[in-house]
């Protein structure tokens, strides 16, 4: 044909495309590590501790991207189910299902690839579903847990995402959200402002070759409702026992709620 790209065999083409996305995903990972000085790993661990995953659970991780949160949930369950096998818990491992939902299929593809590298067999425990946090494809009352990490800030209508979270959870199900939030500690706030408005965009340009996206990131954090306001929104979506925990003085916050 007259189009050069069509001369590339199919499997080679998808490999090329795959490589492009892997390199995007790896600079994304590197940026996360740099921007948070590695702390995002601890923050995600903290999120999982609060979730308290158990064998047999149905869990939905929204904006789950490359599987960072889902792998942690599964690892925690595996360590718990070791005890289950010794007869202390009534669940069987086979019932466990973690659904990773993300609007971007390329992020999901990277996640799938990482899952197989970690030795998770296709569709065993993990399901990768393309979808919008504002209109989930899951049934009412089908999930024991819902997490969203660094995702809700990007959603156009936060209220819609929250009411969808409420809808898909079972009674007794827990909602947990990890998100960049607002620092309200004198002095630290000023330092953090300089860091976010000057250092982060410069780092984005240097490392990812993309100043604008990181500028946008910083601005979107400013626009996101503060801890109290966001807690109120979670309550308005129907959740009970809404609370939040600030980490590093509010650089990030973990909000939680229960569907009773
Ligand atoms: N949760 C991962 C983590 O903590 O590393 C990824 C966070 S990443 C900053 C944000 C993710 O949200 C992206 O993968 C993006 O595709 C996804 N996303 C953005 N808007 C979304 C929406 N409306 N519904 C579902 N996912 C969305």
Question: Per residue of the chain (260 residues), what is the pLDDT tens digit?
Answer: 333 334 445 555 555 555 555 556 677 788 889 999 999 999 999 999 999 999 999 999 999 988 999 999 999 998 876 665 555 554 556 689 999 999 999 899 989 999 999 888 766 799 999 999 999 999 999 999 999 999 999 999 999 999 999 999 999 999 999 999 999 999 999 999 999 999 999 999 998 888 998 999 999 999 999 999 999 999 999 999 999 999 999 999 999 999 99
Nearest by Cα to 136 from 163, 98, 113: 163
**d(CA 154, ligand 1 centre) in Å:** 7
Q: Is the CB of 155 under 6 A from ligand 1?
A: yes
Count of C-beta atoms within a 10 Å radius of residue 178: 26
Instruction: Select from 115, 83, 82 the least CA-distant residue to 100.
Output: 115
Residue 137, exposed/middle/buried by CB under 10 A (0-12, 13-18, 19+)? Answer: exposed
Q: How far apart are CA 16 and CA 96, in angstroms?
A: 34
Structure tokens at 170: 């079972």
**pLDDT of res. 28:** 79
Left (φ > 0), alpha (ψ -120 to 50) or beta: where does 52 sit? left
202 annotated to bind ligand:
no
Q: Is 132 in the pocket of ligand 1 (CB under 6 A)?
A: yes
Asked if residue 107 has its Cβ within 6 Å of ligand 1, the reply is yes
Tell me, using a 6 A CB cutoff, whether residue 70 lines ligand 1: no
Instruction: Report CA-CA distances (Å) from 230 to 34, 149, 171.
Output: 27, 14, 22
Decide: 133 in ligand 1 pocket, CB within 6 A. Answer: yes
Q: Report helix, strand or coil for 107.
A: helix
pLDDT at site 121:
76
Rounded distance between C-alpha atoms, residue 252 and residue 44, angstroms: 11
Determine if ligand 1 sits within 6 Å of the CB of residue 63: yes
- For residue 107, give the ligand 1 atom closest to its CA: 14
CA of 92 to the centre of ligand 1 (A): 30
| pLDDT of amino acid 143 | 98
Give the residue from 238, 233, 230, 237 showing the smallest Cα distance to 254.
230
CA separation for the pair 16, 244 (Å, rounded): 43
Residue (of 185, 174, 165, 157) closest to 256 by Cα position = 174
Query: 3-state class of 52 per DSSP?
Result: coil
Q: Partners of 59 in the beta sheet?
A: 98, 145
**102 Cβ below 6 A of ligand 1:** yes
Rounded distance between C-alpha atoms, residue 179 and residue 102, angstroms: 16
**45 annotated ligand binder:** no
- Using a 6 Å cutoff on CB, does residue 65 contact ligand 1? yes
Q: Is 133 annotated as a binding residue?
A: yes
pTM, entire model: 0.89
Backbone dihedral angles phi then psi of residue 59, each to the nearest 5 degrees:
-130, 140
Query: CA 238 to CA 63: how far, in whole Å?
Result: 21
**30-38 LR contacts (CB < 8 Å, sep 24+):** 30/207, 30/208, 31/203, 31/204, 31/207, 31/208, 31/214, 34/203, 34/207, 35/200, 35/203
**What span, in angstroms and rounded, lies between the C-alpha atoms of 77 and 54?**
5
What is the Å distance from ligand 1's center to 191 Cα? Answer: 27
pLDDT of residue 146: 98
Q: Rounded to 5, what percent of the chain is helix, strand, coil?
A: 55, 20, 25
What is the distance in A from the centroid of ligand 1 to the CA of 104? 8
Ligand 1 atom with minimal separation from the 155 CA: 23
């Amino acid at each position: 044909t007259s189009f050069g790209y069509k001369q590339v065999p199919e499997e080679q083409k998808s490999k090329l495309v795959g490589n492009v996305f892997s390199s995007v995903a790896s600079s994304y990972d590197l940026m996360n590590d740099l921007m948070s000085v590695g702390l995002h790993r601890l923050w995600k661990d903290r999120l999982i501790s609060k979730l308290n995953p158990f064998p047999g659970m149905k869990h939905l991780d929204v904006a789950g991207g490359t599987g960072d949160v889902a792998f942690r949930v599964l690892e925690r369950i595996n360590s718990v189910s070791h005890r289950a096998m010794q007869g202390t818990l009534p669940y069987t491992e086979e019932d466990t299902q973690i659904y990773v939902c993300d609007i971007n299929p390329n992020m999901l593809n990277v996640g799938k690839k990482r899952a197989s590298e970690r030795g998770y067999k296709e569709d065993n425990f993990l399901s990768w579903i393309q979808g919008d946090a504002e209109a989930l494809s899951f049934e009412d009352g089908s999930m024991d847990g819902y997490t969203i990490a660094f995702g809700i800030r990007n959603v156009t209508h936060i209220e819609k995402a929250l009411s969808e979270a409420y809808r898909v959870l079972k009674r007794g199900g827990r909602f947990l959200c990890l998100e960049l939030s607002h620092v309200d500690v004198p002095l630290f706030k000023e330092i953090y402002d300089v860091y976010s408005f000057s250092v982060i965009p410069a780092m984005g340009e240097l490392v990812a070759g993309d100043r604008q996206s990181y500028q946008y990131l910083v601005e979107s954090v400013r626009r996101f409702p503060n801890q109290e306001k966001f807690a109120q929104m979670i309550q308005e979506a129907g959740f009970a026992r809404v609370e939040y925990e600030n980490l590093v003085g509010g650089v990030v916050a973990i909000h939680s709620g229960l569907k009773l």
